[in-house]
Structure 1
Amino acid sequence: MLFSSFKNTSILLLFLFYTACRSNEPERFDFMAIGDIPYHLPEDFDRFETLIKDLNKQQPAFTIHIGDIKSGSTPCSDEYFERIHGYFQQFEHPLIYTPGDNEWTDCHRDACGNYDPEERLDKLRQLFFSESRSQGKKNMPLQTQNQFEGFEKFVENALWEAGKVSFGTIHVVGSNNNLQLGEEALNDEFYEREMANLFWLAQIFNQAKQGDHRGVVLMLHAGLNYHSQEESNGHKSFVNQLREEVMDFGKPVLLVYGDFHSFMIDKPLVDEDRKVLTNFTAVQVFGDRNMHAVKIKIDPKNPNLFEIHQHLVKGN
């Protein structure tokens, strides 16, 4: 009887020790990234539903959609936006969305319905960003830029933390980031949003440094133009500040983007001596006819912090 009691006590102590050790282990988790879908209608609606069901089975911490919820040659109607909003609510985990160019900057095209781009942007903000929370059945709270004085308009830029990693969405899009060229171009929208984006980029890195976070994940739509210093480059100021922030932070930084529809991993940022900034990695998601996802693992035991994997959906 005494031996049995001693044995049970030993087992309990071992269990408590194991549990304590497990609780001190760094947090590991996965998230999914998609974008530039659905494009080809109506057949892509079924494929999008297949993708959603597949990702729900994977049970990631969250999924991000990096923009372009439609192609550049389909109508930018309220009905379409509301349909996509409904699909976003089918995600059983949080879904975080940042706008692309096809759903507002390109809506002036005949095939898109001759809409005013800024009016369409207002509609996106009202429908998808009415609350400081993610989409999805199990939504989560987000810190959004409209909570900062002077940036009340920018409800779409979000920031959150998971596993001692800072995550942030930034509204930078393709189509030259809506920078219009020509003598008559006013570009009020571009300059206001650029100022907001530069503020938000600094905010993301500041919070990461203050919290001693292990890394930063940035999410935006545009395939950035990293090389041109011409004033005609709508990404110039953002890329220049991004370079400075990455160099100053010194820890792993991952940029998730879309725009060109091909799964790709590269290291496009270089310093003044043209040496690659090794702590910065960019990953482009699938898109267009390739309705798959990118699975990103956060592993604090990995010196690179991020593990990037293609996630192919059968039938898509």
Structure 2
Amino acid sequence: MPVLRLPRTRIAAALVLGVALAAPTTAVAAGERGDDHRPPRTFAYAVYGDAPYGTSPTDTSQTEATPAFVAAVNADRAVSGVLHVGDIHSGSQYCTQAYDQQVADLWRGFTDPLVYTPGDNEWADCHKKKEGGGVYNPATGQVDYVTDASGAPADYAGGNPVDNLALVRSTFFPQPGRTLGSGSLRVLSQAQVDNRAHPTDGQYVENVLWMRDGILFVAVDVPGGSNNGTDPWYGAPTASPQQVTEVANRTGAALRWLQRSFATAREARARGMVVMTQADLWDLDGKAASHVAGYEPVVGALADGATAFGRPVLLLNGDSHVYRSDDPFRAGASCTGDDGVCAYDAHDSHPGYDVANIHRVVVHGSTVPLEYLRLTVSPRTAPASATSFGPFSWERVTH
């Protein structure tokens, strides 16, 4: 596949065959200006997810704690950006327009830019009764929806995942290429590139990439919890045509975005990559290996991309609510984390891989008090340890 030869200072604008931006001269990622003409600098991002969380539809304790958490992150002088790896509420809270807007308003308090990849709880799982969706009624062949006091569906659009993802996009991604928080970081969105070969890819405004000090960052919408969205919505006997189409289109877009991102990193001679997904692609959640089979194409794309890139790749995900640092692409590799989390070798969920240059960190979520991971990127590559990999190192911070 031929690659467009452009100056690396415009790497976020266009590099891979087929890229055609609506405004190519303005889509350069902040932090990449002049990177070819100065040595890379040390910088840090605050990474968190699965927050704010509640144990019931009326539990607002973490939401109420969020302003103080935002202030604490703002006060961290080392941090110059925020990454949220999905799930803005729990699987026991309802999916409503008012709640999504409340979180978006809270995030406007960040003085640094924030990049967010959606989680399953705010869209893919909204159909579930516990989240205010409903249950398929075999006697009628219809869905019995959870209703509010007025008798209307409790969830936005009755919990329909496609409609709730559209709500997430309109609330958190109203303008392709613009981020949340301070809004000062410009990113390249999948909605901004030439998608004529795959027109539906243009709707994935949440899939973004940007570059800073020689490190390429990419966020891709891969939600956790439901086997890549293949558990039938509302508990119906089989997946609806709408659900089958959603899974196929989103997975295809994710694979093409990862391919584009790795190709961009190679062309830019990036020092490393950071990939954000919400899903823990290896978490069986007490189920059989078939529970994560739907993620196999994404796992394969990460393995192939990292192998071709040949430099350090750090994968960040949420979803599992426990801190874990491991190498799931290598059997029997070292693992550290919260008590008991390493009893299972994640490699067993997707066996057959042996890729040494990709490391994974699961960000602890739904904590009290709220917590973030301070991810530091340094020009120097440090020996691998429990809290470092290539130019990346990290530490847990609670407030």
TM, length-normalised to structure 1: 0.86
- Partner letter of residue 295 of structure 1? R
Q: Does 1:134 align with 2:179?
A: yes
The yes-or-no answer on 1:300 pairing with 2:379 is yes
Do residues 63 (structure 1) and 63 (structure 2) align? Answer: no
Is the Cα–Cα contact under 8 Å of residues 226 and 239 in structure 1 kept in the other structure?
no
Q: Which residue matches 1:269?
A: 329
Match of 2:275 among 208, 212, 218: 218
Amino acid at match of 1:109: K
In the TM superposition, 1:203-214 aligns within 5 A as 203-214=260-271
Asked whether the equivalents of residues 94 and 135 of structure 1 are also in contact (C-alpha less than 8 Å), the reply is yes
TM-score of the two chains, using structure 2 as the length reference: 0.69
Query: What's the offset of the Cα at 1:278?
Result: 2.5
The answer on whether the counterparts of 1:267 and 1:276 sit within 8 Å (CA) in structure 2 is no
> Distance in 2 between the 1:81 and 1:176 partners?
24
Aligned to 2:191: 146
Q: Who is 1:281 aligned against? A: 359
Give the structure 2 partner of residue 177 of structure 1: 228
Kindly state the Cα deviation for residue 159 of structure 1 after the two structures are TM-superposed: 0.5
- Which protein has the larger Cα radius of gyration, Structure 1 or Structure 2? 1
Picking from 292, 295, 307, the partner of 1:247 is: 307
Give the secondary-structure state (helix, strand or coil) at the position aligned to 1:296: strand
Change (3 A) 1:79 1:281: same
From 289, 297, 302, the equivalent of 1:237 is: 297
* Superposed CA offset, 1:257-304 (max 9, x none): 000111111111138996753311111112113420001111121241
Q: Cα offset for 1:230?
A: 5.5
Q: What amino acid is the match of 1:42?
A: T
Kindly state the Cα deviation for residue 73 of structure 1 after the two structures are TM-superposed. Answer: 1.1
SS of residue matched to 2:304 = helix
Question: Aligned partners of 1:39, 1:138: CA distance in 2, in Å?
Answer: 24
What is the alpha-carbon distance in structure 2 between the residues aligned to residue 50 and residue 67 of structure 1? Answer: 20
Name the stretch that deviates more: 221-230 or 185-194.
221-230
Look up the equivalent residue of 2:178 and give its one-letter code: R
2:184 is paired with a residue whose SS is: coil
Q: Bigger shift: 263-272 or 129-138?
A: 263-272
1:188 CA displacement: 1.0
The equivalent residue for 1:3 is none
Aligned match of 1:124:
168
Query: CA 1:260–1:226 in 2, change beyond 3 Å: closer, same or farther?
Result: closer
Distance 1:163 1:66 in 2: 22
* RMSD between aligned residues: 2.2
Deviation at 1:126, TM superposition (A): 1.0
The sequence identity of aligned pairs, in percent, is: 30
1:184 partner SS: coil
Aligned residue in 1 for 2:397: 311
Q: Which residue does the alignment assign to 1:97? A: 116
Aligned with residue 166 of structure 1, among 209, 216, 221 = 216
Residues 147-168 of structure 1 show CA distances to partners (whole Å, capped at 9, x for unaligned) of 1322211111011000111001
- Whether the 8 Å contact between 1:292 and 1:311 is mirrored in structure 2 is yes
Q: Are residues 312 and 156 of structure 1, via their aligned partners in 2, closer, same or farther at CA, if it must alter by over 3 Å? A: same
AA of the residue aligned to 2:358: F
Helix, strand or coil for the counterpart of 1:288?
A: coil
- Structure 2 stretches of 5 or more lacking a match? 1-36, 134-158, 332-349, 383-389
Aligned positions, number: 291
**Contact 2:283–2:292 under 8 Å retained in 1:** no
Please state whether the residue corresponding to 2:109 is helix, strand or coil: coil
Q: Which moved more, 1:208-217 or 1:143-152?
A: 143-152
Partners of 2:330 and 2:312 in 1: how far apart? 15
Kindly indicate whether the alpha-carbon contact (under 8 Å) linking 2:318 and 2:363 is maintained by their aligned counterparts in 1: yes
2:50 pairs, out of 16, 36, 54, with 36
Quote the Cα distance in structure 2 between the aligned partners of 1:180 and 1:45.
Answer: 29
Q: Superposed, which structure 2 residues align to 1:13-28 within 5 Å?
A: 24-28=38-42
